[in-house]
């Protein structure tokens, strides 16, 4: 299976639209002659169009240079990841490899043909002075049919996809096309093909004072689903982003727990904790491996005695393989789509009967609890103090996520508090990383000792981590004081 990242924009033109001369746009010197092809794609989805609603497009296409099964993840106008897989002569559905990647978006439900899109394409390449292809511009005469309700449509569309060009080139081409009468289209062909049915199942914007809470929760739910495919394949950024979304959801369901049925929201929080644990095992290994690799390479050569880099690499490679396999098994299990379905019911429900003051009180309470937990942690020393600081860090994460709920409406004041809470959270995280790293080094040294290897380097690394931890605490105190300044928190008391 091949995976590519595409950056493209789509435009619609009237029947009389003519493609303008695009030379001079962002370094374009030459426009190639048009190459024609006929493309025929059948898009697959659940009966309630969950894939499209989740920013996924699954199709089986014939014609063109990349015929086969395609799964696109992301929204039109931004970077979209496309997974490609060869098609069989008599496919009854998407191959298992792609089915695993849509499990989050489909909620584990079956998919079936939803729409057919046929288009006659005329494609041109935009080249710079050295003959590099900066972008490809395709003019499509599109005919689409909703395979469920039979509604047919036809339109003329222009696609501009970057190859070696940049966003400035896209902007320049977009401006030239707009000058010729084209209008940018924010949705894909598959969306347009089933627009009528999408309108019937669309997720309306949450309203009322609790609307920002529900909107924030939906964003995190969508982040879990949007990162599913890449996380399933072990992508580090996707695993991180998916884990953060899980954390944000767990914190939101707790901070604003009065908005949902208590028993159900706590049950969903427990399931989110399970999912976060599976993601966390992968992510923690990725982070620790990178941290120790950097630490070893920062040492002078004369302080690296024995096969330390190799032993560290071997250990984490094995651990990462095991944890990645376990994560895939979790995402393949029925428990995962069941969790998402229950989460849908919570975040898509109408907002609770509360006012804005109720929401703000919960935010203030989350911030105050974090403050209290940190003050108590700073009064404790030794290993117990490390544990308490870690708990304070988790409280500040919850506080920051609560403030983020109001950030779009409050603007700058909330954004400043988010920034300072994040700084404090990161410093506490650095301290916790040092604690965990020292324990990993201790175990690694014990293993090396039993195998008759030199343990000197592990001791040096351990000492450096301990020294770094000692520098963290004064910085934590300074960041705490900055996060508590009256001008940063004044808006919370309104």
The mean per-residue pLDDT over the stretch 434-463 comes to 93
pLDDT score for 323: 96
At residue 133, the 3 state secondary structure works out as: strand
DSSP state of 15: T
What is the full DSSP assignment across 145-205? Answer: EETTT--EEEEEEEEEEESS--HHHHHHHHHHHHHTT-EEE-S-HHHHHTHHHHHHH--PP
At residue 59, the 3 state secondary structure works out as: strand
pLDDT score for 92: 82
Cα separation, 215 vs 29, in Å, equals 46
Buried/exposed code over 308-346 (b: 16+ C-beta within 10 A; e: otherwise): beebbeebbeebbeebbeebbebbeeeebbebbeebeeb
pLDDT score for 494: 64
pTM above 0.85, yes or no: yes
Sign of the four-CA dihedral 109, 113, 119, 123: positive
Cα separation, 66 vs 6, in Å, equals 14
Looking at 259-268, 362-371, 465-474, which range is the least confident one?
A: 465-474
Helix axis angle for 335-347 and 211-232, nearest 10°, is 160
Q: What are the Cα distances from residue 103, in Å, to 80, 85, 228, 241, 332?
A: 18, 17, 8, 18, 8
What residues contact residue 486 under an 8 Å CB cut-off, 6+ apart?
none
The mean per-residue pLDDT over the stretch 445-473 comes to 89
At residue 36, the 3 state secondary structure works out as: strand
The mean per-residue pLDDT over the stretch 418-444 comes to 93
Instruction: Work out the mean pLDDT of the chain and round it to a whole number.
Output: 92
Angle 273-277-244 (CA atoms, 0-180°, nearest 5)? 75
pLDDT score for 377: 93
- With 70 as the cut, is the pLDDT of residue 305 above it? yes
- Beta strand pairing call for 112-127 and 30-31: antiparallel
Q: Are 433 and 294 in contact (CB under 8 A)?
A: no
The mean per-residue pLDDT over the stretch 88-103 comes to 88
What residues contact residue 452 under an 8 Å CB cut-off, 6+ apart?
none
**Is residue 462 very low, low, confident or very high in pLDDT (cuts 50, 70, 90)?**
very high
The mean per-residue pLDDT over the stretch 12-30 comes to 90
Cα separation, 258 vs 441, in Å, equals 44
**Strand partners for 135:** 126, 162
The mean per-residue pLDDT over the stretch 313-328 comes to 94
Angle 271-276-279 (CA atoms, 0-180°, nearest 5)? 135
**Is residue 492 very low, low, confident or very high in pLDDT (cuts 50, 70, 90)?**
confident
Beta strands, E only, 21-111:
30-31, 35-45, 56-62, 68-73, 79-85
DSSP state of 301: G
Q: What is the pLDDT of residues 131-143, one digit of tens each?
A: 999 999 999 999 9
pLDDT score for 209: 87
Cα separation, 311 vs 452, in Å, equals 13
pLDDT score for 472: 77
In the chain, pLDDT over 90 holds for what percent of residues? 82
The distance of Cα 12 from the centroid of its chain, to the nearest Å, equals: 29
At residue 82, the 3 state secondary structure works out as: strand
Q: What are the Cα distances from residue 481, in Å, to 125, 217, 426, 473, 488?
A: 57, 30, 15, 13, 11
In the chain, pLDDT over 70 holds for what percent of residues? 99
pLDDT score for 202: 66
The distance of Cα 385 from the centroid of its chain, to the nearest Å, equals: 33
pLDDT score for 109: 95
């Amino acid at each position: 299976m091949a995976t590519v990242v595409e950056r493209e924009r789509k435009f619609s033109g009237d029947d009389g639209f003519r493609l303008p001369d695009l030379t001079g746009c962002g370094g374009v010197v030459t426009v190639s002659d048009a190459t024609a092809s006929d493309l025929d794609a059948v898009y697959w989805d659940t009966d309630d169009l969950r894939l499209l609603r989740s920013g996924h497009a699954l199709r089986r296409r014939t014609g063109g240079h990349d015929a086969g099964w395609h799964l696109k993840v992301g929204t039109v106008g931004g970077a979209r990841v496309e997974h490609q897989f060869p098609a069989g002569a008599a496919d009854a559905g998407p191959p298992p490899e792609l089915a695993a990647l849509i499990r989050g978006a489909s909620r584990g439900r079956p998919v079936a043909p939803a729409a057919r899109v046929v288009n006659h394409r005329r494609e041109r390449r935009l080249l710079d002075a050295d003959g590099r292809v900066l972008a490809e511009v395709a003019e499509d005469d599109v005919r689409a049919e909703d395979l469920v309700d039979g509604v047919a449509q036809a339109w003329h569309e222009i696609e501009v996809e970057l190859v070696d060009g940049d966003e400035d080139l896209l902007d320049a081409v977009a401006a030239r096309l707009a000058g010729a009468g084209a209008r940018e289209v924010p949705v894909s062909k598959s969306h347009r093909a089933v627009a009528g049915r999408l309108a019937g199942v669309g997720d309306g914007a949450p309203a009322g004072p609790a609307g920002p809470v529900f909107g924030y929760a939906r964003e995190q739910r969508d982040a879990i689903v949007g990162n599913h495919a890449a996380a399933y394949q072990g992508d580090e950024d996707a695993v991180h982003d998916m884990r953060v979304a899980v954390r944000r959801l767990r914190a939101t369901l707790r901070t604003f727990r009065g908005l949902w049925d208590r028993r159900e929201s706590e049950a969903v929080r427990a399931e989110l904790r399970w999912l976060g644990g599976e993601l966390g095992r992968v992510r923690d290994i990725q982070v620790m491996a990178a941290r120790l690799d950097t630490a070893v390479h920062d040492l002078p050569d004369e302080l690296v005695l024995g096969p330390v880099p190799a032993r560290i690499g071997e250990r984490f490679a094995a651990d990462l393989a095991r944890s990645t396999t376990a994560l895939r098994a979790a995402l393949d299990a029925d428990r995962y789509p069941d969790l998402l379905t229950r989460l849908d019911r919570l975040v898509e429900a109408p907002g609770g009967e509360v006012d804005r003051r109720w929401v703000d009180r919960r935010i203030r309470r989350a911030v105050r609890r974090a403050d209290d937990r940190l003050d108590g942690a700073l009064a404790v020393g030794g290993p117990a103090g490390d544990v308490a600081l870690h708990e304070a860090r988790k409280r500040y994460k919850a506080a920051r996520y609560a403030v983020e709920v109001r950030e779009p409406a409050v603007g700058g004041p909330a954004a400043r508090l988010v920034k300072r809470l994040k700084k404090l959270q990161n410093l506490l995280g650095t301290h916790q990383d040092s604690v965990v790293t020292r324990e990993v080094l201790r175990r690694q040294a014990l293993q090396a000792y039993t195998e008759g290897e030199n343990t000197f380097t592990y001791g040096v690394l351990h000492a450096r981590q301990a020294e770094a931890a000692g520098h963290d605490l004064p910085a934590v105190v300074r960041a705490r004081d900055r996060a508590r300044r009256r001008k940063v928190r004044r808006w919370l008391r309104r």
